[in-house]
Amino acid sequence: MARSLPARPPAPVLAGLLLKAEDGALSFSSFDYEVSARVSVDAEIDEDGTVLVSGRLLADICRALPNRPVEISTDGVRATVVCGSSRFTLHTLPVEEYPALPQMPTATGTVPGEVFASAAAQVAIAAGRDDTLPVLTGVRIEIEGDTVTLASTDRYRFAVR
């Protein structure tokens, strides 16, 4: 999730990661008006709630944690992350200033993650790196029936899978 956060957000809240606990799941969301990401994991929830914390800081903390259950609690101005003997306190950001997340489109199918990642890596090498031509810096994903085609070009190279 941290990779989806902007390096230089136009507003401090856009550097935040929105954590929402409800219905036996904890969801993590990010949105900077251009890119949105959301992932949900099953969790034991004592109390429903939403909190916004620094996404980079939370990612750094999570990388340092052992492979054990994590407990997250909040008192309104601080969020506390506890894992084993480790304890971290993060200041919260104002949830009310965070933009509404866009509605996720309905799924049209599924592709195994490793297959999609492999195909994307194979075509991404031909994508442009020149920010003055942003249309050439992406990978085109075309879905037709049960076929997914990925393509990219930088005007000199072309890759399709």
pLDDT at 31: 92
**Residue at which a domain ends, from 71, 97, 123:** 97
Structural domain includes residue 104: no
8-64 pLDDT, tens digit per residue, is 888 999 999 999 999 999 999 999 888 889 999 999 999 999 999 999 999 999 998
Residue type, 106: T
Give the burial class of 39: count Cβ atoms within 10 A of its Cβ; 0-12 exposed, 13-18 middle, 19 or more buried. Answer: exposed
Domain containing residue 128 = 113-160
pLDDT average, residue stretch 134-153: 93
110-122 pLDDT, tens digit per residue, is 899 999 999 999 9
Inter-residue contact 81 to 87 (CB < 8 Å): yes
Number of domains in the chain: 2
Query: Within this chain, do residues 19 and 58 fall inside the same structural domain, yes or no?
Result: yes
pLDDT at 2: 73
Inter-residue contact 25 to 41 (CB < 8 Å): yes
Structural domain includes residue 103: no
Using only C-alpha atoms, the chain has a radius of gyration, in whole angstroms, of 19
61-89 pLDDT, tens digit per residue, is 999 899 999 999 999 899 999 999 999 99
Contacts of 67 (CB under 8 A, 6+ apart): none
